[in-house]
Amino acid sequence: MTAQLELPPQPTLSRVGTLLRARELGIGIVIAIVFVTATLKNHAFANSHSVQQLLTGAALIALLGVGETLVIVTRNVDLSVGSVVGLSAYVVGSTFKHHPHMPILLGFVLGIAIGAAIGAINGLITTVARVPSLVVTLAALYIIRGVDGVIVNGKTIDPGSIPKVFQEVGYRTLFGVPWLAIIVAVVVAVVGYAMRSFRAGRDLYAIGSNPDAAALAGVPTGRRVFTAFLVSGSLAGLAGALFLALHAQVDVTGGNGYELTVIAAVVVGGVAIFGGSGTVLGAALGAVLLNTINQALVASKVSAFWNDAIAGALLLAAIAFDRWLSLRIARNLRSAEGAHRNV
């Protein structure tokens, strides 16, 4: 007979695991609290039109957050998403203007192709040249903005140049739910399932948790990080096309500031800025939370400047919480390893 060794129970590890599993539920509860509070102050906040605006306003940030999550989970960051949105939106709009009979679907394909090309460049420089992604994508942000400025040259794509059917994607609803929100929900569901169920998705978490260990375990780290940037760029390009459909016009300012809002939404949604944990659903809920707070401030007639302050405070709190949690997990894992050795 062989003696079976049992480790002593680790209640702290159990509580930490519960915290991790309940993160998204907690964000949902906070969204509900903010929504109810705003409704009590302004009953119009809960009408169907207001809810549709809330979902539509969060949709593009949530879509960008999906791609950003893939990148951040691998201990990288993509700061170019906002500029990709602006460039993609203008190029698609300009193409419609000069080719008014172009199929609507090609507009979305063109947007995705532009984003994919930029994402591939970011991924190649990060993985092959081993330049930090912060530097690569920050440079890409400025380069793309410069190129966009040259292409736009002070012009504006107006609604008359955009096919009506294309614009309908931005404002039509299905059973009261905006098409834009439905499209983003499908993307979140597909990517979330892929990250949870396929090896390529799980590899991203392994890379973010410990890149060296992942490489030693046979994970193709360069290929996976490149893919993360490719997907992030593609979704940013799609977001640019949807931006055009939503606003029906675009100029050189399209997508300005989106990158910081997206990162805030992703981190507030539970994606660890240090990599290795988080979900696309949490990132999407983070986008909804930030937009709900923004709309609640407007409905309550509170200065919109508080929105940036609150977003910054939530970002700081989320990073501090993730840091505390990672240190707590590491400490308890060391304790468990010591107990195992003593046994």
* Ordered domains of the chain (ranges, CATH): 25-38+46-320 (1.10.3470.10)
DSSP assignment of 149-168 equals: HHHHTT--B-GGGS-HHHHH
Using one digit for the tens of pLDDT, what is the confidence trace for 246-295? 999 998 888 898 999 999 999 999 898 888 888 999 999 999 999 999 88
Q: Sign of the C-alpha dihedral, residues 206, 212, 216, 221? A: positive
Q: What is the mean pLDDT of the chain?
A: 87
For residues 175 and 151, what is the distance between their CA atoms, to the nearest angstrom?
A: 39
Q: For 183-202, what is the mean pLDDT?
A: 94
Average pLDDT of the segment spanning 46-71 = 94
Please tell me the predicted confidence (pLDDT) of residue 79.
Answer: 96
Burial of 321 (0-12, 13-18, 19+ CB in 10 A): middle
Is the pLDDT score of 36 beyond 50? yes
Closest CA to 12 of 336, 317, 338, 315: 336
pLDDT at 333: 54
| CA count, 13 A, side-chain hemisphere, 325 | 24
Q: Using one digit for the tens of pLDDT, what is the confidence trace for 312-338?
A: 787 788 777 777 766 666 676 566 556
pLDDT for the residue 326: 65
The predicted pLDDT at position 155 comes to 87
Task: Give yes or no for residue 306 having a pLDDT over 80.
Answer: no
Q: What is the pLDDT of residue 320?
A: 78
Over residues 51-78, the mean pLDDT reads 95
**pTM for the full model?**
0.88
For residues 91 and 100, which has the higher predicted lDDT (pLDDT)? 91
Pick the range with the lowest mean pLDDT from 17-26, 109-118, 139-148: 17-26
pLDDT, position 114: 97
